[in-house]
Structure 1
Amino acid sequence: MLKQRIITAVVLLLVLGAAMLAPSSWPLLLILLLASSLASWEWLRLTLPASQRALAPYLAVVLAALLLWLSYASFSATPSSESQAILQLIYVYISPLVILFWLLYVPHLIRQAQVQQIQQSVVLSAMGILAPLVTWAALVQMWLSRGLLYVLSVLVLIWVADITAYFVGRAFGKAKLAPRVSPGKTWAGALGGVLGACLWVALSTIWPNTLGTVLYQQWSAVGMVLIAAVLAALSIMGDLFESLLKRRAGVKDSSQLLPGHGGVYDRIDALLPVAPLAMLLGGQVGL
């Protein structure tokens, strides 16, 4: 299992790296499109009622078609006014709604910790479409306005928070963070993840156009650290939220698309809440 996880992770990193370094923007746009639509499909499988679960792949295909059209119509040599209007709607109106969902509603759900199979929520299923949509838009906007180094620094924040939380939790963790949702996570691990993310963001200020550099310029050193802590906490929240959905649905993984890793949603659960806020606080709302 470990060997399979490592091989899959290496392949994914190589594909992502090649797309980021490609002379054309299309490889990265297509990867982001594919990841968002597959994560939406997996999310909907966890939240739609059993009688409506067959709709999940069709809704994911509709999302993929929308993202493909937006990619073609917005980032070609002559962007269409319709696609620009839709993107503006996403950035100005839908993104704040999704951010509030992550900041206010998700912590409430995790605190309640209702892990038994209950009647599925329309809100959670709707967010299975809107959250991946906004994440796609946020990553594209950060990439266009700040560059690949900025996007990469956001991804590294999530990876650092996850890795440090794991090792600190194993070494010092005793008090459970959310035992009914994810028994393996501890308060010590969460604190270690937040501190690790803050250190990474501070270190990243030595390079231009990174998350740390932009936050330092716009929010000062104290603001930079506080925002890094919030983003790291959100990454943990995203992981806990997916664990909650899976426990409610009675499954271990969101799917089996990625050998050794489960589904795409399992891999980007922390990115979904982090990307929109990183875009907003980095001053990149709008076109």
Structure 2
Amino acid sequence: MLRTRVITALVMLLVFSSAVFLFSATGWMAFVAVITGCAAWEWAGFCRWQPSVRYGYGVATAVAAFVLAYCVDTAAPSTAYGFHLLVFGVSILFWGLIGSAWLARMWPLGQGARAALTGLVVMLPTAIAMVFLRQINPWWLLGAMAIVWVADIAAYFSGRALGRRKLAPSISPGKSWEGVYGALMAVVAYGLIVLSWSGARFSPAAWGGIVLGLLALTGVSVVGDLFESMLKRQAGIKDSSQLLPGHGGVLDRIDSLTSTLPMVALFVLLTR
């Protein structure tokens, strides 16, 4: 299992890195659309839809992701700005209000329009954020994704070493508050080191704002992770799919990114 997991991770890293730095703008949109379609197909599995409906939802979501990204890319700057502001804002409102309440109350996803719409709200802003950040600078995209990777790794090791108090035992018994604290400290350290290394200069107040932003990103990433874990538990499955040998499914890999990438993209949009 470990060998399979390592091989899959290396292949994913190679494919993703090649796509980020070598694909054309349209090619990157198509690549992101494929990822989004796979995630949507897995989401439909949470809803226990029939195979034909699952595939239809996956294809429709992939097409929607590509068409939206392409249309925005060719739109007037003011139109693109307004669209991005709306999409990223909706995502942040969802994760900050609805997603958190959903977790607290353990609402079932269901099989109807609410389930389909929620999937679109979770996945389409993520796809648009991936296209937007890569268009601004590929390193913005990778840096934002690295925040989630650092948080996951730190939470895993600090949780294993120090974990005592369960974070959400009814959703994900392995996660602990100590793991969250470890993730928060690691992400703040990562962010400050990267910014210092880049030579950026900020006022003390700005540095304080940056720290708060990094803490907020880490907190939102935890919500995204727990949200997908809750849906898997409700559906009675361990992984969102077996598309990625040793790693489960696409949603298993991007669960935290669905809540953090739109947040980073909105920050970049407002501060450019």
Pair in the same fold by TM > 0.5: yes
Describe the superposition over 1:35-84 as per-residue Cα deviations: whole angstroms up to 9, x where unpaired.
Answer: 1121122112213xx46664232122122223333455554xxx256x99
Which residue is equivalent to 1:136? Answer: 127
- Flag the 1:164–1:129 CA change in 2: closer, same or farther, 3 A: same
Q: Does 1:104 pair with 2:104? A: no
Alignment check: 8 A CA contact 2:165 2:178 kept = yes
Q: Distance in 2 between matches of 1:244 and 1:199?
A: 29
Q: Distance in 2 between matches of 1:188 and 1:175?
A: 7
Gaps of 5+ in 2: none
Describe the superposition over 1:113-134 as per-residue Cα deviations: whole angstroms up to 9, x where unpaired.
Answer: 46xx774464343121232111
Alignment check: 8 A CA contact 2:99 2:223 kept = yes
Which residue is equivalent to 1:95? Answer: 88
What is the correspondence of 1:1-287 to structure 2 with a 5 Å cutoff?
Answer: 1-22=1-22, 24-47=24-47, 50=48, 54-75=52-73, 79=74, 90-113=83-106, 119-120=110-111, 122-145=113-136, 147-206=137-196, 208=198, 220-284=206-270
Q: Percent identity?
A: 34
Alignment check: 8 A CA contact 2:165 2:176 kept = yes
> RMSD between aligned alpha carbons?
2.8
1:193 alignment partner, SS class: helix
Alignment check: 8 A CA contact 1:110 1:178 kept = no
2:24 alignment partner, SS class: coil
Gaps of 5+ in 1: none
Give the TM-score normalised by structure 1: 0.84
Alignment check: 8 A CA contact 1:153 1:204 kept = no
Q: Distance in 2 between matches of 1:168 and 1:102?
A: 25
- Flag the 1:69–1:285 CA change in 2: closer, same or farther, 3 A: farther
Aligned residues: 272
Q: Distance in 1 between matches of 2:119 and 2:230?
A: 14
Describe the superposition over 1:129-162 as per-residue Cα deviations: whole angstroms up to 9, x where unpaired.
Answer: 23211111112112223x0111111011000000
Q: Distance in 1 between matches of 2:100 and 2:87?
A: 20
Q: Distance in 2 between matches of 1:238 and 1:277?
A: 12
Describe the superposition over 1:218-272 as per-residue Cα deviations: whole angstroms up to 9, x where unpaired.
Answer: x710111111111111111111110100111111111111101111011100100
Give the TM-score normalised by structure 2: 0.89
Q: Distance in 2 between matches of 1:268 and 1:93?
A: 22
1:161 alignment partner, SS class: helix
Alignment check: 8 A CA contact 1:16 1:28 kept = no
Describe the superposition over 1:159-211 as per-residue Cα deviations: whole angstroms up to 9, x where unpaired.
Answer: 000000000000000100000000000000011111111111111113559xx
